Structure 1
């Protein structure tokens, strides 16, 4: 164990700009969604991506059970959705009722205004401290270059490129 305080790491990492996504899964007929900025492309052949998920979330438990998930890469205009889906304690039922979405090939919810979407089947999970690294094989990928600027997370705030 190091002597580094978690707040120190959080403060430093806040200076690393990332894109913002909404990650969804469907388990027992219920949509689970969370805002995430930990999306990483892992491999093109086979097509793999990863997200890092806090172990103490309902999304973690749901994706472990379902094994399928979707990623919606958010435009700047989706800031309200990102804020809502990062709010702790929101109700499970109906959490996507205020966000326009549709079902992908795997049945997971994908946001209608996304810059791009990915649908994944979990291929591996790796323990990583208070998070789990969830690796997924991408089975469907779509992008829409005409949707505008991306939503960015920088210095613990949502922003855009403008």
Structure 2
């Protein structure tokens, strides 16, 4: 494939955007609380329980996560688009002030903010960081989790937030 096709970042971004993904807010607690909306999150392994999150090397979260060594991942539910937008806004306040209008609790193992109402929440210990071009791939061991299976996810597709509406099928005997 010619390099010129891949050098057009707008086309590349649009092509990547055709893959629907969940929306998360990644958080750190120490030394200063910080959060970032991310859709580059994935499960890696069940044994041991590992997840990954990819963070741009220029993002404030990159430095925070590297320093903290522990982090939280909040998988957003369909009603949490406002939180996703808030933590994606680069002009928001930093530190604890960014959490003033968000319902959250500090994780008991990591101190990382865990958002109320999330579909799932994980507390993780950073186990490795790998080069991923302009991003770093942070690998974390899951220390704790909880989930709300009664909720639907918030997803992003073609650079827009979407909600999944489950089709209800009734089975009759």
TM-score calculated relative to the size of structure 1 = 0.95
Shift of 1:104: 1.3
Structure 2: gaps (5+ residues): 166-173
Pairwise CA RMSD of aligned residues? 1.2
- Deviations 1:97-127 (CA, angstroms, capped at 9, x unpaired): 1110011122110001111111100000011
Asked if residue 25 in structure 1 is aligned to residue 19 in structure 2, the reply is no
More helix by share: 2
Counterpart among 75, 95, 104 of residue 77 in structure 2: 75
- Deviations 1:74-97 (CA, angstroms, capped at 9, x unpaired): 111100000010011322131111
SS at match of 1:8: helix
Indicate the residue corresponding to 1:151 in structure 2: 154
Shift of 1:13: 1.0
Structure 1: gaps (5+ residues): none
Give runs of ≥4 in structure 1 deviating > 2 Å.
none
Shift of 1:59: 0.7
- How far apart, in 1, do the equivalents of 2:69 and 2:49 lie? 16
Structure possessing the higher radius of gyration over alpha carbons: 2
